[in-house]
Amino acid sequence: MNGKVDFYEIYEYYYLPFYKTCNFKWFIIFLIGILIAIFSYLIIKFVLKRKKDKGISASLWAIAELKKLDINKLLSKENYKKFYFDLTFIIKKYLHKRYGWFTENRTDEELIRYLKDKKFDSNLLGSLEKFISGALWIKFADQEALKIQAKKDLDLVHQIVYETKIEVEKT
Looking at residue 149, its pLDDT comes to: 76
Residue 161 belongs to some domain of the structure = yes
pLDDT surpassing 80 at residue 47 = yes
Tell me the pLDDT tens digit for each residue of 140-161: 655 455 667 777 888 888 888 8
Number of structural domains, the chain? Answer: 2
What is the C-alpha to C-alpha distance for residues 128 and 122, in angstroms, rounded to an integer? 10
pLDDT in tens, 72-99: 777 777 777 788 888 888 988 888 888 8
* Dist CA 170 CA 134 (whole Å): 29
* Judgement on whether residues 40 and 90 belong to the same structural domain of the protein: no
Do 68 and 151 lie in one domain? The reply is yes
> Domain end: 27, 55, 83, which one?
55
**Range(s) of the domain holding residue 115:** 58-170
| Alpha carbons 40 and 88: distance in angstroms, whole number | 36
Same domain for 49 and 118?
no
118 in any annotated domain: yes
Closest CA to 161 of 53, 61, 13, 12: 61
What pTM did the predictor assign?
0.60
